[in-house]
Structure 1
Amino acid sequence: MVDFEWYRSFCTIYKYKSISEAAKTRMMTQPAMSQHLAALEAEVGETLFVRSTRKITPTERGKELYSQLAPLIESLENTTMSFKMASLPTQSVIKLGAAHEFFSEKILPQLPKYNTCTLSHFGTAEQLLELLKEDKLDILIMSKRFPAPGIEYLKLMDEEFVIVAPIDYEIHEFDNLKLEEQWLSEQKWISYGLELPIIRRIWREHYKKRPEIRPVHIIPNLHMILKAIEIGMGLSVIPTYLLQDSLKAGKTKVVFKHLKVENELYIAYQLKNKHLPQFHEIISVIRETKMD
């Protein structure tokens, strides 16, 4: 007789293409997860996944079974949660986490739309994720996905980063990337950190190398970096959603518009809060936010 938990484990493995990640998500041991899969394959009489050294790939029979099971399991889980909701206390405060620059530009203007109280936290993605794991956050906006038991991610949007200079900065035009990269390396740079976050991404994606620059100023605040650019302190990399007012005011300009990179932003949350009404309300408002 088939155990319902075998089906749940199979669908989780299918979703993550990894037995170890599926085990973490279901808060099981990897051997137990493998046992569920082996038992289901024995019951079905066919192999459901092809194993390789790095990942597993569903067979045609596995794809067929998943397409049949996924909606049924989701329906059962939603039904269970609807019964559970009756005994859950309403959540009067939603605890939000984000980088303070993104919060200031994109979340703060939306707060009047929320019908619940909010408690906000700021910090790095790693710091805030720990708060989420400890139930000190309910919703986290972050640019990385760290696999963690009980945590789910929704794609929010893409943010675009460009190189920015003071409006009166003399920009040289070049007909080849090598001279362009050499000129950029000789300029004064302002960075968010010593490891040159995002600046390093631009160099790797466009010049296929690490940047050989030494920033003259380290300022771990994008608003302050933009202010420093406006008063002529140097160049830096800024997200376009933060840049619009400065461009319109004629205080800054984009350097070499082809040198841009994109970053994915995600909404992270605890699965156990997924069905709370206040949670859905705030998620829907955040997802309505569009990048300028």
Structure 2
Amino acid sequence: MANFEWYRSFVSIYKHSSVTEAAKTRIMTQPAMSQHLASLEAEVGEPLFTRTARKMIPTERGKELYTQLAPLVESLEEATLSFRAAASPTLPIVKIATAPEIFRERITPVLRDFHMRIYASYGVASHIFDLLIEDKVDLIVTSQKFTVPGVEYVHYLEEEFVVVSPYDFIEPEIESPKQLEEWLAAQPWLSYGLELPIIRRFWRENFQRRPQMKPEHILPDLHIILSAIEQGAGVSLLPTYMLSNALQGNKVKIICKSLKVTNDLYLAYQMKNRNMPNVRMMVEALKIPEN
């Protein structure tokens, strides 16, 4: 008869594609983990993985068995965590990565409502996606959907970006779209990156062409860009949700109010982890309605 620990080891090997990494996760020796897998394969009567030099590749039978076992194993582990939580102050750990401004503006205000311990990492979309693929984080909040198999995206929220300038900035009265574009392009722009992220889309959607300008400064943090605008360094596109204090304090203002662009944010996680209690808990926690 199969042992429950064999199932736990099998699910762990499947998730990590490695006996060594699975053993580290379960705090076991590699030989013990290999023995669990060998015992389960003997019970099933056929191989569950194809061994290669770099990773363990599940067979069709292995995929079928994982689909059946993973929810059951994770439910039992979740129940075990619940029992432990009742007797211990230790909370489950969730590793999340996103851009610093998203964490500060969208997650920090509701952090006290999370019944879990958060380990946060920050970076641009490509960097945090690599962290997800390498199993260094459980969940990311990203504006880019990478076409990589095994990753699931859930829509999180829609950002609205507007043109922000210093408060004492003088905006001329311009009616012609062409003249408005030329005037905007001539301003000192602050950008998140050399490739003009979000600015390019703003230009395409509002002027039907690529922006013809070079940014004055490259500042890869939207809060730093906002601070620079407050000091008169230039103009930029910023999400409305981070402007409240600066607008109320007359530190900046929104110009060209008829022009804006939206941007979708997604929660992303590896599909093999979709039933992990910590991932499910975090996704649910981030569904808190906006004020």
1:279 is displaced (CA, Å) by 2.3
1:147 is displaced (CA, Å) by 2.2
Report what 1:236 is aligned to: 236
Report what 2:99 is aligned to: 99
1:191 is displaced (CA, Å) by 1.3
Report what 2:150 is aligned to: 150
Cα deviation 1:166-185 (Å, max 9, x = unaligned): 11100012111001011112
Report what 1:214 is aligned to: 214
Cα deviation 1:217-258 (Å, max 9, x = unaligned): 211111011011111111111111111111111111111112
Distance 2:71 2:219 in 1: 48
Q: Which moved more, 1:255-264 or 1:210-219?
A: 210-219
Distance 2:200 2:74 in 1: 47
1:216 is displaced (CA, Å) by 1.7
1:209 is displaced (CA, Å) by 1.3
Q: TM-score w.r.t. structure 2 length?
A: 0.70
Q: Tell me, what secondary structure is at the counterpart of 2:144?
A: coil
Report what 2:118 is aligned to: 118
Distance 2:140 2:218 in 1: 26
Q: Decide whether the 8 Å contact of 2:132 with 2:139 is kept in 1.
A: yes
Q: Tell me, what secondary structure is at the counterpart of 1:193?
A: coil
Residues 1:84 and 2:112 are matched in the alignment = no
- Count how many residue pairs are aligned between Structure 1 and Structure 2: 220
Q: Tell me, what secondary structure is at the counterpart of 1:128?
A: helix
Q: Decide whether the 8 Å contact of 1:96 with 1:118 is kept in 2.
A: yes
Amino acid aligned to 2:189? W
Q: Decide whether the 8 Å contact of 2:74 with 2:277 is kept in 1.
A: no
Give runs of aligned pairs for residues 59-208 of structure 1, distance below 5 A.
Answer: 81-86=70-75, 88=77, 90=81, 92-208=92-208
Cα deviation 1:72-117 (Å, max 9, x = unaligned): xxxxx6x754422255475931100100110011112222212221
Distance 1:80 1:258 in 2: 54
Distance 1:161 1:86, change over 3 A: closer
Distance 2:263 2:214 in 1: 23
Distance 1:157 1:174 in 2: 33
Report what 2:19 is aligned to: none
Report what 1:225 is aligned to: 225
Q: Structure 2: state its 5+ residue gaps.
A: 1-56, 61-66, 82-90
Q: Tell me, what secondary structure is at the counterpart of 1:287?
A: coil
Distance 1:214 1:82 in 2: 52
Q: Which moved more, 1:152-161 or 1:203-212?
A: 203-212
Distance 1:279 1:153 in 2: 13
Q: Percent same amino acid among aligned pairs?
A: 40
Amino acid aligned to 2:268? A
1:155 is displaced (CA, Å) by 0.5
The runs of at least 4 consecutive aligned structure 1 residues that moved more than 6 Å come to: none
Distance 1:192 1:183 in 2: 21
Report what 2:47 is aligned to: none
Q: TM-score w.r.t. structure 1 length?
A: 0.69
Q: Tell me, what secondary structure is at the counterpart of 2:259?
A: strand
Task: Output the aligned Cα RMSD.
Answer: 2.5
Cα deviation 1:38-87 (Å, max 9, x = unaligned): xxxxxxxxxxxxxxxxxxxxxxxxxxxxxxxxxxxxxxx6x754422255
Q: Tell me, what secondary structure is at the counterpart of 1:168?
A: coil
Distance 1:242 1:127 in 2: 23
Cα deviation 1:176-225 (Å, max 9, x = unaligned): 10010111122111111121111111111111111112222211111011
Amino acid aligned to 2:264? E
